[in-house]
Each structure stands twice: as C-alpha cells, then as structure tokens.
Amino acid sequence: MERNKALEIVKAQLTDKRYVHTLGVTETAVNLAKQYGADIQKAELAAIFHDYAKFRPKEEMKKILLEEKEDDRLFDFHHELWHAPAGAVLVRREAGIKDKEVLSAIRWHTTGRPGMTLLEKIVYLADYIEPGRLFPGVEEVRKIAEQNLNQAVLAAVKNSILFLMGKQQPVFPVTMDTYNDFIQNGDDG
Ligand code: DGI
Ligand code: FE
Ligand code: FE
C-alpha cells in the first residue's frame, strides 16, 4: 500500500496526538530500517499501522482476540496490551494488509517476544524512541540505538519493566520472556 493512502486510513482511527506519535514512529522506523538493513517499505507500513486499534472499544478488541484464539492470558492484564494483537487482525481485515512480516511487527509491538524478527525489533524500538517520547531513560536508549539494535531493544524492554514495577503494576509474562530472551541469547541476533 502507498504511504499516503496508509496514513489517510490510519488518521481516521486516531486522535491528533496519536497521529503525531505515529508519524514519529514511522520516521524513526524508516531510519532504523536503513541503518540495520531491514525492508524500508515494510518498516514504514508496520509503523504507520502499529497503533491502528488504539482507540477501539475494549469489548470489540476482546471479541477479536477470542475469535482469533489469541493468548488468553491477555484478559488477565490491562487492556492497553490488547491493541497490538487486535490491531494486527483489524489491519488485515479492514485495511487489507496481507504481509505476514508487517502484521507480526504490529502484533508484537507492545510486549516484544522471544526470537523477534528484525522488523519486529525496529517497530518496537521506534515506538519507544520516536522524537515525541520524553520518558526517563529514553535519551540513553536513543544513543544505544545508534550502535546496537539488540542492546537498544533490551534497554527499552528493561526500562518498561522497571517503569511498571515502579508503579507496582503487573508485568505481562511475554514482556518478561522478551527480556529473558535478550539476556540469555546475547546481542548477536
Ligand atoms: O501504544 P503506545 O502508547 O504507543 O505504546 P505501547 O504499545 O508500547 O503501549 C504501552 C502501554 O502498554 C503502556 O501504557 C504500558 C503498557 N504495557 C506495556 N507492556 C506491559 C504493559 N502493561 C502491563 N500491564 N504489562 C506489560 O508487560
Ligand atoms: Fe501501541
Ligand atoms: Fe505507539
């Protein structure tokens, strides 16, 4: 799908603020794709659509996740986690995106997963470091991202877990699995 068409579709789904975030993620993902040798068009498309389902009603997302037999542990955790897997389904159904690599980068953009693909890492990291993000530690992750993709994703996952723990929030098991995978399998991926 052409960039402007994709942006037009996504804009209708999002608030202005979230759309600006999406533009930041897209620019960042394209730059990371160039730097790390990923498919630039796939990175751009996945980034544009990554938060497509962000404002869907909880009940609609739940229905989709049940229909698609998604991980039922999601229902025991905050519904913030649902927009990524529900988004991958909706982008396929409503926007007609068929590319499996693009859909999985959308699917895993919130928690990551063990054995992440290059494209999944790029969208995950771009979501974390896009220019509009201001949270503590983000500048450090931006610096690491210039040198080493895996180290940067690990730093982002670690910061996210520490942030949740700081608020005494539950951490979704797949987020922990992602962290463990990077720690145990090093930074050679
Ligand atoms: O959609 P964005 O705001 O751009 O970013 P995102 O898709 O990474 O979603 C972030 C939200 O999800 C944020 O409010 C924190 C929450 N989150 C991320 N990982 C976990 C989590 N919440 C819980 N409970 N557990 C997690 O592992
Ligand atoms: Fe998101
Ligand atoms: Fe996002």
Reported as a single tens digit per residue, the pLDDT across 43-71 is 999 999 999 999 999 999 999 999 999 99
Q: Note down the domain range covering 108.
A: 3-136
The count of structural domains within the chain is 1
Q: List, in order, residues 6 or more apart from 32 with CB less than 8 Å away.
A: 38, 43, 122, 125, 126, 145, 149
Assign residue 97 the CATH number of its domain.
1.10.3210.10
> What residue's CA is closest to ligand 1, atom 19?
111
Query: 169: phi > 0 → left, psi -120 to 50 → alpha, else beta; which?
Result: beta
Reported as a single tens digit per residue, the pLDDT across 125-143 is 999 999 999 988 999 999 9
> What is the percent of the chain with per-residue pLDDT over 70, rounded to a whole number?
98
Reported as a single tens digit per residue, the pLDDT across 68-127 is 999 999 999 999 999 999 999 999 999 999 999 999 999 999 999 999 999 999 999 999
Token pair belonging to 121: 């890492």
CB of 130 closer than 6 A to ligand 1? no
Question: pLDDT at position 135, please?
Answer: 86
80 CA distance to ligand 2 middle (Å)? 8
Q: Is residue 175 part of a domain?
A: no
Question: pLDDT at position 11, please?
Answer: 98
Q: Is residue 117 part of a domain?
A: yes
> What residue's CA is closest to ligand 1, atom 10?
110
